[in-house]
Amino acid sequence: MIHSSIDMERLVMENGFMPFFSCGIAGFSIEENTPSELWFSAEEDGPWEWKGPVIREGHCAYGKLFNKKAGYVSLEWLPDLANYRRSLRYAKDEDTAALDDVVLQTIISEGSATVKELRRMLGFARRRGRRRADELVDDMPETGKISLDPILTRLMMGLRIVISDFEYNTDRHGRPYGWGVARYTTPESLYGRLDTKRTPQESRDRMARHLGKMLPYAQESKLMKLIG
């Protein structure tokens, strides 16, 4: 069971892949391996607070990686997961793909960004005064404003970006409070080149063998859904 950030990181490193929430494979998640009193606790830190520290250790990547839900992958398996996922298409059409690329290129050019920073840089945020002619949402009706959440989710599922840390507001005593704000960057910015020397299909097969051996009781369909 997980009782510390060290335990949580060790579990990810041992398994290679670890969804944060229950994923339909019994026992295979951070949630199911955490005592209920630590999962949500007002007195003690738990997995929600340990996400940032585990990321900063630099041994595993974090983001919405499993069926659009959060989870970790160790650096041993990150190149294979990225190799396979980057061969897939997550955008529903060319316009969606183009918009995803605008957000990705902005993150690449800046090095990293939060949602608030992206909204400001891309003109998605409402400012006082008149909008400039070059703002992306300048001619969009109020009800058609673009949401960054599905864009960032697609980019994380495709392993184009990951979460590099969580930033917290602090009170007048310097103590953090509230939900952490995710900062996004590319895997290469954090971990360097992701070179496998394998084809996407070879990476997929390698991950399937690993998960099948580790989780022999799991349905193959659920394992494939996990891989993506």
Q: What is the pLDDT of residues 17-65, one digit of tens each?
A: 999 999 999 999 999 999 999 998 777 889 999 999 999 999 999 999 9
Quick check: 131 pLDDT over 60? no
Give the C-alpha distances (Å, rounded to integers) separating 156 from 53, 62, 76, 150.
Answer: 20, 9, 18, 10
Which pTM was predicted? 0.88
Q: What is the pLDDT of residues 198-214, one digit of tens each?
A: 999 999 999 999 999 99
Q: How far apart are the first and last CA of the chain?
A: 27
Q: Which long-range contacts (CB under 8 A, 24 or more apart) does 207-213 make?
A: 207/17, 207/77, 207/80, 207/81, 207/84, 210/16, 210/77, 211/17
Mean pLDDT along residues 186-195 = 96
Q: % helix / strand / coil in the chain, to the nearest 5?
A: 45, 15, 40
